[in-house]
Structure 1
Amino acid sequence: MSRLLVTGARGLLGSRITAPGSPFRDGHRTIVALGRAELDVTDAGALHRSIEPDDVVINCAAYSAVDAAETEIDRAFAVNASGAGLLARTCAEKGARLVHLSTGYVFDGTAAQPYEIRSPTAPINAYGRSKLAGEQAVRAECPGALIVRTMWLYSGATTGFPAALLRRCARGEPVSVVADQIASPTCTDDLVSALADLLAHPDPPPLTHATSAGAVSKYEFARAVAAEAGLDAGLLRPCRTTDYRTAADRPRNAVLSRASWLGHGLRPLPHWRDALHRAMLTYRRSC
């Protein structure tokens, strides 16, 4: 029986890949779920001991604190770039198959249309630069790896953007949300299914984008979250990126083209509104 090894297995995506009901829990493979405490991807020796020949490895390990990365640059690059490269090198040496997760933050957000897989990269924050360096390291060390970019990942759990937003709205607190940043919010469960489809494909694209259909501003997404929960969307205040000061700059347009995904005949991810409805049903059951 083959093994599926998931790094960053306690995080937002990794925990869903290994959860009961995941399409990877099909009885055809052993799942090895390794969080940061069990496997530090910056430790070459630990990687060599953990990965076995013929493993399928999904790399969800990441330094994902976008604002903190502006001051913790070395730490972000250690995990997102050096660690990704070490993992890719180990997979190549062991004969393991690698899927590496990346982000739309590798683009600068100035394009007037969705970003294609070969659009010029130009990250505008430290997190994006570290993730782009990770993509480059993975390609160099393991040419057969699959790199998947996604954006605005969320789940129906009690953590993350929707849950935090709903808690504030439930307390009657006004919330400012940027209205001039757009992307395709992507539910973790849909991305997990997409990764399963990608690995089952006979000729998968080496670099692709996997996001929900449709695009929306952060503000309109927040309004949809509140509406799904039956809370007062009037508490949400639209603002401009220039009015909402954060340590890291964000791309205004982070919409990723799905042309590569669909062009390979892969099953499209659902529209973000349908995905959000399902995620909020899960959220209500977990509260």
Structure 2
Amino acid sequence: MNILVTGANGQLGNEMQVLSTEHKQHEYFFTDVEELDICDEQAVRAFVKDNRIDIIVNCAAYTAVDKAEDNSELCDKLNHIAPGYLAAAAESCGAALIQVSTDYVFDGTAYVPYTEEVTPCPNSVYGTTKLAGEQAVMKLCSRAMIIRTAWLYSIYGNNFVKTMIRLGKERESLGVVFDQIGTPTYANDLAKAIFAAIEQGIVPGVYHFSDEGVCSWYDFTLAIHRMAGISTCKVRPLHTDEYPAKALRPHYSVLDKTKIKKTFDIEIPHWESSLARCVQLLKETEK
């Protein structure tokens, strides 16, 4: 199959590139904005048609949650309009589309894990535009698969894990929010789940994927420092209102993964074991 992966320079896009070496039976087109501007409808349609694309995996997104509050137009363009262009192009060629979405489509006021049946209710520009993107994709592409994920990190790009390691080495103390609960997700694990869907055949619909287990950002930070061997930085728990941010964060955004596990018969690792793998890779790249 011919597979187009957009946003290839991001965390998930890079992990897709790494795993593609294990799936050499396919032809890949890894693009970022330099190779294909997904906000250009004509360019998207031509690229998909000319390269006879069978599956699009859209890893591109505007993910700066706080900046999105002031840049709603650009955020909407990337998270809503562009996925619609990809979906329409896919539909015109009979291709499938995997659209990566987010836990931010929920307001985080629940206290049990979110299933795919729960009605979304975003309370930020980022979450609102990502939900609009989901709706556009499902409307325009009959072979569309939405995968919502949360707390994504990897050895690539900027993310919470790398930031906490850097700050842990630079500072004597650090305050981290303890009253926001979710699940860290290693982008490599998400990429494996995407490949499982590709190999077994796309089953349209909405799915949730994160690693197993739950924690707060505070617990996550303690685990990062422990695994990275950082012992000189004292981590203090903060309430959300002690750490002001422009965009509202979900207080509880644990995703129920039952559907994706059953549909594609996949096992998902616990977040701590995946974090250990990532931190070890970061240590090796530093050498």
TM-score range, shorter chain: over 0.9
Is 1:146 the equivalent of 2:145? yes
Q: Which residue of 1 aligns with 2:31?
A: 34
Q: Retained in 2: the 8 A contact 1:186–1:212? A: yes
Q: Which runs of 5+ in 2 are unaligned?
A: none
Counterparts of 1:48-67 in structure 2, within 5 Å, are 48-52=45-49, 53-67=52-66
Q: Which residue of 2 aligns with 1:208?
A: 207
TM-score (norm 1): 0.95
SS in 2 for 1:67: helix
CA RMSD of aligned residues (A): 1.5
Work out the CA distance in 2 between the residues paired with 1:203 and 1:10: 24
Q: Which has the higher helix share?
A: 2
Letter in 1 for 2:32: G
- CA shift, 1:144, in A, is 1.6
- CA shift, 1:200, in A, is 2.0
Counterparts of 1:117-132 in structure 2, within 5 Å, are 117-132=116-131
Q: What is the percent sequence identity of the aligned residues?
A: 35
**Cα distance per residue 1:174-215 (max 9 Å; x no partner):** 221110111110101111111111122246352111110101
**Cα distance per residue 1:121-169 (max 9 Å; x no partner):** 1101000000000000001100221110100000134732111111111
Work out the CA distance in 2 between the residues paired with 1:11 and 1:154: 10
Q: Retained in 1: the 8 A contact 2:172–2:232? A: no
- CA shift, 1:265, in A, is 4.7
* Residues 87 and 24 of structure 1: CA distance in aligned 2, closer, same or farther (over 3 Å): farther
* Residues 219 and 66 of structure 1: CA distance in aligned 2, closer, same or farther (over 3 Å): same
Work out the CA distance in 2 between the residues paired with 1:30 and 1:12: 21
Which stretch shifts more, 272-281 or 195-204?
195-204
* Residues 261 and 205 of structure 1: CA distance in aligned 2, closer, same or farther (over 3 Å): farther
TM-score (norm 2): 0.95
Work out the CA distance in 1 between the residues paired with 2:78 and 2:161: 26
Q: Which runs of 5+ in 1 are unaligned?
A: none
Work out the CA distance in 2 between the residues paired with 1:198 and 1:244: 39
Is 1:165 the equivalent of 2:164? yes
Letter in 2 for 1:183: G
Work out the CA distance in 1 between the residues paired with 2:231 and 2:125: 35
Counterparts of 1:163-202 in structure 2, within 5 Å, are 163-202=162-201
Which stretch shifts more, 70-79 or 168-177?
168-177
May I ask how many residue pairs the two structures share in their alignment?
284
Work out the CA distance in 1 between the residues paired with 2:157 and 2:245: 24
Q: Which residue of 1 aligns with 2:80?
A: 81
